[in-house]
Amino acid sequence: MSTSQRPLLITGVEFVDGSGGDLLIIDGAFVDPDRAPADVERVDATGLLALPGLVDPHTHLREPGREDTETIATGTAAAARGGFTAVAAMANTQPVTDTAEAAEFVHDTAIREGAAKVQPVGAVSKGLAGEELAELGLMARSRAGVRMFSDDGRCVADPLLMRRALEYVRAFDGVIAQHAQDPRLAGPGACCHEGEISGRLGLGGWPAVAESVIVARDVQLAELTGSRLHVCHVSTAESVEVLRWAKQRGIRVSAEVTPHHLLLTTDEVLGYDPTYKVNPPLRPAEDVQALRQALVDGTIDAVGTDHAPHARQDKEHAFADAAFGMLGLETALGVVIETMIDSGLIDWFRLVEVMSAAPARILGLSDQGQPLVEGSPGNLTLIDPGARARVDAGDSLSLSRNNPWHGRDLPDPVQLTVWSGRITYRRS
């Protein structure tokens, strides 16, 4: 979508270093505020904190194929509402994003209709079948410029296929993003963390080791190939320890954690509410604490929402039969503030790193995650750090309503989102 041609002057902002000042965006980039022309659009940001636009490395936009649950237009509107100026769209669409043409469809649709930059993620294997490599090179060379490849929703279980994928993308510094779930240890019936609660409720168990064994295998394959590995939605303390070991060895691995895994525990499933059925599943409190500490010390690099919209007819079933996934784009920043900022675990500099700068680096987006200085792309979000609200699923800009935060009091900070100089969300 084209950027606004009218210059934008934002006055009285506060920055994460404690300083204050004005910001001027002309032709999609920050310039010296003293150059503001007479016809500038003005925004009074007194008392608001300015952050670089947030970047989500893990979003499901569902288009093409399931436009009844989300579209690129509605998903990016929700992203802008959450302070995001860029999102990575996972490949498990219908048809799968496993060709250059499919990636270009997502790319081109987002240019026409999106309220944020959309970076298509290509499939690792054709049809997500885990048998034959998809068109990795053609997708990378397409106008979509794909740099991340993932069969997310399914694990690349075949170690030889995983090795070949890592070797292939090394030539253009691509990254393979793995959904770490051993299909034998956590098979089709697994729907809840394996433990006392799954046993009491009679639900199929998804053991922590089913994640960590794949992470352990893949970091060693990344070391063997010298290529880049990204681990999606880390959920267990065991995986954190493997990642810590790999980073100490200098292996080229990055990892993300979801907001829901930073706050919710497996206790949420005691009521059999399918809203809380997610893959990987919610884990016990000790895993939540390990994930928070890993985000503090850099073992986990980034926050990824794993925003997964579903229609009611797919989610409103018995727990074992319901679809996996929950919404996350509009509430992600609030959850991270609640769990990490308000608790004193991280400061605003670290939040900017894990929700903007690091995801942009992982995705290879040079126009995102940049500091708010002259010459940088004009992406930012203005927030009121003290604002709170009770979440109402009915108010979501997403087409779906599988919101795990409905009725919960959370920080609701985003006041304004600007993507390449264009206001994409403004709190009314």
pLDDT of residue 427: 95
Domains and CATH numbers, the chain: 53-368 (3.20.20.140)
Contact (CB, 8 A) for 234 and 300:
yes
At residue 275, φ and ψ (nearest 5 deg) are -55, -30
Annotated binding site for substrate: 60-62, 92, 279, 310, 324-325
Q: How confident is the model at residue 428 (pLDDT cuts 50, 70, 90)?
A: confident
pLDDT tens, residue by residue, 377-424: 999 999 999 999 999 999 999 999 999 999 999 999 999 999 999 999
pLDDT tens, residue by residue, 24-56: 999 999 999 999 999 999 999 999 999 999 999
pLDDT tens, residue by residue, 166-199: 999 999 999 999 999 999 999 999 999 999 999 9
Q: How confident is the model at residue 10 (pLDDT cuts 50, 70, 90)?
A: very high
CA atoms within 13 A on the CB side of 367: 14
- The fraction of the chain above a pLDDT of 70, given in percent, is 99
* Mean predicted confidence (pLDDT) in 204-223: 98
Q: Which of 281, 284, 412, 404 is nearest to 338 (CA)?
A: 412
| 384 in catalytic set | no
Q: Which two tokens stand for residue 105?
A: 């469809």
Q: What is the pTM of this model?
A: 0.97
Annotated binding site: 58, 60-62, 92, 152, 179, 233, 279, 306, 310, 324-325
Task: Point out the catalytic residue in the list 306, 347, 384, 395.
Answer: 306
CA atoms within 13 A on the CB side of 132: 5
For residue 1, pLDDT beyond 50: no
Q: Which two tokens stand for residue 380?
A: 């930012």
* Mean predicted confidence (pLDDT) in 312-327: 97
CA atoms within 13 A on the CB side of 156: 31
pLDDT of residue 214: 98
Annotated binding site for Zn(2+): 58, 60, 152, 179, 233, 306
Q: Which two tokens stand for residue 27?
A: 């032709």
Q: Which of 212, 223, 125, 128 is nearest to 167 (CA)?
A: 223
pLDDT tens, residue by residue, 160-169: 999 999 999 9
